[in-house]
Amino acid sequence: MLSHHKKDDVTEISREYWLAEITYPKRSNRDLLEIAEKIIVYFWQPSLNEKKKISLPEPTTVINQWFNIEGQPRINQMKIYKELSDVISWDGEYWRTGNLKIFNE
């Protein structure tokens, strides 16, 4: 982030760390990460990312699965992402969102 153009706009309050892994498809690349980021940013409208809010994303569905540091499913969402739905889907006409329930076997 040392040379990022938004570096000077990041404050203690706006600083959030996200770690993501694309699990499907198994072979992912930077383009797939950009597509996932675009739908999340466009839908959620964070303050510092203007470029990804300019135009609608391509039809995409993102399923977020949250885990704790031990790799177990996180049942209670943390404050940092409680406003972000587990499922965000844009079909080119309609947005769909929702949260997934975790069931034990």
Q: What is the pLDDT of residue 90?
A: 96
Q: What is the largest CA-CA distance in the chain?
A: 48
In a domain, 52, yes or no: yes
Q: What span, in angstroms and rounded, lies between the C-alpha atoms of 61 and 44?
A: 14
In a domain, 77, yes or no: yes
In a domain, 88, yes or no: yes
Instruction: Kindly state the percentage of the chain with pLDDT values over 90.
Output: 21
Written as six digits, the tokens of 33 are 């990460």
In a domain, 42, yes or no: yes
In a domain, 18, yes or no: yes
In a domain, 34, yes or no: yes
Question: The domain containing residue 41 runs over which residues?
Answer: 7-98
The total number of structural domains in the chain stands at 1
User: What residue type is 76 in one-letter code?
Assistant: N
Half-sphere exposure of residue 65: CA atoms within 13 angstroms, side-chain side: 8
φ/ψ of residue 97, rounded to 5: -140, 165
pLDDT in tens, 20-67: 667 777 777 888 888 888 998 898 887 777 788 889 999 999 988 888
In a domain, 2, yes or no: no
In a domain, 69, yes or no: yes
